[in-house]
A and B are shown apart, each in its own frame.
Chain A
């Protein structure tokens, strides 16, 4: 340890951690200074989350040392980390939905500070207003929006004396406006001397927020930089390596095509108490265009997808129609037969059966592609279909017999997209097509979708990734609390406008 690290808030020296079959962290060294907003940048599977869990004491490293303010520190559990002044906001919130904000926060505190809930509530109001993220302490968590839930998580950290705040992909659940206000809060915290570790793979955000960055690739540090002095391309290269192609722009489709899929007055009451009712959703997707539906998770996306795929049954007629036929009463299999294809939200355990081979998973939705004759499986045809998915979409696997669960997220997603695209559907509904997928794979998925569009398919993409939607969709809209915003051509709208739609600011459609 050199002398300068005496002043560092946190210094990691040669941290390694391996799991059976994978080296998640390989000799990682990072230095974080007081008052600095430090980005940890890397693709999914680069080892970011593992490293953060090591700092927070959730996981123990196999080797390497951790120094806290110049002192060698042993962090065996999150309790130890919190005592030092380390707080963490996880990507998946750890909140009890049926408890109030103050009760949730009290659960994380020791007995003395948790005993007086009224005092704690006052303190929550005080802290949350100070940092510009107002909270009502007695609201029940399940009534809060995703952005507000994240505030609860952050305030929970700030209630204690915080010296290092770790945020794992915090912006993926926020609207652009919410992102801006989160960044203001973080800058204020940093100005007061707290250090912030900001984990992300969104380069533009990192450029606007962070003053230093460490890039991880395949468990190792592949570069360190000042994000304000780098271009997004040069940082992307550090993330993915030189050989991967990074996408840029695609020409938009001309808008002279006729409508193909049209959805009229889709109303749906959900059975799930935490679900969202769909209200008067109407839209149409033209032939040869990509319609993007933006929205923060939990605003009715799952419900809309299930209604479109036929997994949820609708009572009325003429809600989901093709030019010649009404699909509303068709089950998923019949909809496929009429030329629809679907890429569901969860790839493992929805889009693919985890413990089945790729061959079986190709058959799962590809059975209408001549893979069956009189109820018997045509093994040769199934093999050919599987192999063409693997070849054309560059799915990295040991072979057709590999289990779906053995593939990495990105490769499985390529497989599922390939399975649907190769069936050349007339209408493809795709949810989060590149969620958690590395840049290289995302580019090839985008290209495949654009190619399918250019063949005349009408494509609906539901995604939380605004950059993605602006890149590939021809027209765009947003879903908020089960209602659909107006639809505009992508060229004629702005991120700000889409952001306000995502926050529910748009003229409501007339309820018939």
Chain B
């Protein structure tokens, strides 16, 4: 017996949009089973996991606070992925944005005025972009695989950040805790909804969504990015400047991830701490694909991902389950999405073996060994 995948003739556009929904539903079903195996009433657990996080205004605001950085990173990643630039480094770029932004904030700790916050934010954006410039440079001039370089840079940036909070950036009056000094009021994002932690930074995600949508669907640069990802040889043929596009994609993504990072330290956290991100940059990869690399889809997927983070905390408090549940749900979501995408493009064919040929030597099947004489 042999199992193989056979390409379906016509691919359904509807199904390609239905795939993320299907993946979400399958995740819910398997999640319910998981809770059941863990000895918790599945429906109640799902309720705790998915409904309680949005049961009142404060919690909805918390959801948005979490969704903000995820969406910013995912939108940046979507441009890279459209161009076939496999940037896995949004996490590192986010951390760098937070770190450089914090440096600026600590340097300006005594400064007053409305200009302080923008300066801090710009420093964060530049930090993220600079961190993304490293893989762009390596890819363009040394043909380095950006998947490897961006992943490795994630660890490097985390360690630089840890060095900072344990060393030069540590609050001298902080009883030796690995934290920086608290930022001043001029450096903290204003809250935009009274009684919650919903801050100005969340609106950046909305602006980024619109801006990137315009870039990708309305401008020639966006078109060039799509061509580069769709078919590199055609982009070369048309004379598009590939290296410049790679720079652009990575710098935009790094900038947005850096903004997400500096938005966290100047927003809900208010100082530099060792763990400014619970893996937002990695979750954003799933969000980008779940949202079909489309800004609106990314927004919805980002909200779902934020819900998983909130739900993870909820079940930890309410049901005494480990926080790793969030990671399990993220994994299931990505897995089901990939499965759905494959099965939408291909059908599974199970062949009963027909011939028990005992062919003595290996035989050349022309399709298997199509080495074309040039």
Residues of A within 8 A of B (CB): 19-21, 58, 76-79, 82, 88, 90, 92-97, 107-112, 114, 141, 144, 146, 149, 274, 297-298, 309-311, 331-336, 342, 344, 346, 349-356, 360, 363-365, 367, 372, 375-377
Query: Measured between alpha carbons, how far is A461 from B194 in the docked complex, in Å?
Result: 72
Bound together, the chains give a CA A192 to CA B18 distance in angstroms of 62
Q: How far is A109 from B9 in the complex, measured between Cα atoms in Å?
A: 36
Q: Do A58 and B365 touch across chains, with their CB atoms under 8 A apart?
A: yes
Does B350 have its Cβ within 8 Å of any Cβ on chain A?
no
A-B contacts, 28 of them at CB < 8 A, read A58-B367, A77-B365, A79-B357, A92-B373, A93-B371, A93-B372, A94-B370, A97-B373, A108-B363, A110-B359, A111-B360, A112-B360, A144-B373, A146-B373, A297-B374, A331-B241, A333-B240, A334-B239, A344-B237, A349-B231, A351-B234, A352-B234, A354-B230, A356-B230, A364-B234, A367-B238, A372-B220, A377-B219
Q: Are B233 and A350 in contact (CB under 8 A)?
A: yes
Q: Beta-carbon contacts of B341-366 to A below 8 Å, as 1s and 0s?
A: 00000000000001101011111111
Contact in complex: B366, A311 (CB < 8 Å)? no
Contacts of A310 in B (CB 8 A): 239
Contact B220 A309 (CB under 8 A): no
Q: In the complex, A36 Cα to B321 Cα: how many Å?
A: 79
Which residue from chain B places its CB closest to the CB of A97 in the assembled complex? B371
Please tell me if B2 contacts chain A, counting CB pairs below 8 Å: no
Closest to A342 in B: B237
Contact digits for B4-25, partner A, Cβ 8 Å, 1 yes 0 no: 0000111000000000000000
If the complex has contacts A95-B373, A356-B226, A364-B238, are A107 and B364 also in contact, measured as CB distance less than 8 A?
Answer: yes
Find out whether the CB atom of B237 lies under 8 angstroms from the CB atom of A311. Answer: yes
Q: Which residues of B contact A58 (CB under 8 A)?
A: 365-367
Say whether, besides A20-B9, A375-B219, A377-B218, A94 and B233 are in contact (CB < 8 Å).
no
Nearest-Cβ distance from residue A109 to partner chain B, whole angstroms: 7
Name the distance in Å between B9's Cβ and chain A's nearest Cβ. Answer: 3
Q: Does B340 contact A (CB under 8 A)?
A: no
Whether A79 touches B359, Cβ cut-off 8 Å, given contacts A141-B373, A372-B220, is yes
Contacts A332-B238, A336-B239 given; does A363 touch B365 at CB 8 Å? no
Contact call A332/B234, Cβ cutoff below 8 A: no
**CA of A471 to CA of B373, assembled, Å:** 28
- A375 and B219 alpha carbons, distance in the complex (Å): 6
Q: Across chains A and B, which 4 residue pairs bring their CB atoms closest together, nearest first?
A: A20-B9, A332-B239, A333-B239, A353-B230
Q: Which residue of B lies closest to A60 (CB)?
A: B354
Which residue from chain B places its CB closest to the CB of A106 in the assembled complex?
A: B361
CA distance A146 to B231 in the complex (A): 29
Which residues of A lie under 8 Å from residue B237 when comparing CB positions? 309, 311, 332, 342, 344, 350-351, 365
> For B317, what are the chain A residues with a Cβ–Cβ distance below 8 Å?
none
Interface of B, secondary structure class, is loop
Q: Which residues of A contact B362 (CB under 8 A)?
A: 107
> B10 near A78 (CB under 8 angstroms)?
no
- Contact between A111 and B361, CB atoms less than 8 A apart: yes
> How big is the B interface, by class?
35 or more
The reply to whether the CB of B114 lies closer than 8 angstroms to some CB of chain A is no
- CB pair A77–B357 under 8 Å, yes or no, is yes
B155 located at the interface, meaning its Cβ lies under 8 Å from any Cβ of chain A in the complex: no
What CA separation (Å) do A107 and B221 show in the bound complex? Answer: 50
In angstroms, how far is the closest chain B Cβ from the Cβ of A361? Answer: 8
Q: A21-B9, A349-B234 are in contact. Are A376 and B219 (CB under 8 A)?
A: yes
Residues from chain A with Cβ under 8 Å of B9 in the complex:
19-21
B372 contacts which chain A residues (CB < 8 A)?
Answer: 92-93
Least CB distance, A367 to chain B, in whole angstroms = 7
Verify B360–A110 contact, CB threshold 8 A. Answer: yes
Residue from A20, A79, A367 within 8 A of B363 (CB atoms): A79
What CA separation (Å) do A107 and B363 show in the bound complex?
A: 7
A95–B370 alpha-carbon span in the complex (Å): 7
The minimal Cβ–Cβ distance linking B265 to chain A, given in whole angstroms, is 34
Of B223, B241, B369, the residue contacting A94 (CB under 8 A) is B369
Q: Which residues of A contact B363 (CB under 8 A)?
A: 78-79, 82, 108
Report how far A311 CA is from B238 CA in the complex, Å: 9
Which residues in A have their C-beta under 8 angstroms from that of B360?
Answer: 110-112
Instruction: Check B234–A110 contact: CB distance below 8 A.
Output: no
Q: Is the CB of B371 within 8 A of A354?
A: no
Q: Could you mark each residue 215-235 of chain B with 1 if its beta carbon is under 8 Å from any beta carbon of chain A, else 0?
A: 000111101001100110110
Residues of B within 8 A of A19 (CB): 9
B236 on the A face (CB < 8 A): yes
Minimum distance in angstroms from B316 CB to a CB of chain A: 43
Partner of B371, one of A21, A96, A331: A96
What is the bound-complex CA distance between A131 and B362, given in angstroms?
27
Contact A108 B364 (CB under 8 A): yes
B364: chain A residues within 8 A (beta carbon): 78, 94, 107-108
CB-based contact A21/B10 at 8 Å: yes
B219 CB to nearest chain A CB (Å)? 5
- In the complex, the chain A residue whose C-beta lies closest to that of B231 is A353
Q: How far is the CB of B324 from chain A (nearest CB, A)?
A: 38
B residues near A112, Cβ cutoff 8 Å = 360
A363 and B223 contact, CB distance less than 8 A: yes
Known: A96-B371, A109-B361, A364-B227. 12 other contacts (CB 8 A): A19-B9, A77-B365, A111-B361, A114-B361, A298-B374, A311-B236, A332-B239, A349-B231, A353-B227, A360-B227, A365-B237, A376-B218
Q: Which residues of B contact A95 (CB under 8 A)?
A: 371, 373
Docked complex Cα distance between A311 and B241 (Å)? 11
A485 to chain B, nearest CB (A): 21
A336→B362 CA distance, assembly (Å): 51
Contacts A20-B10, A95-B373, A331-B239 given; indicate if A90 touches B220 (C-beta within 8 A). no
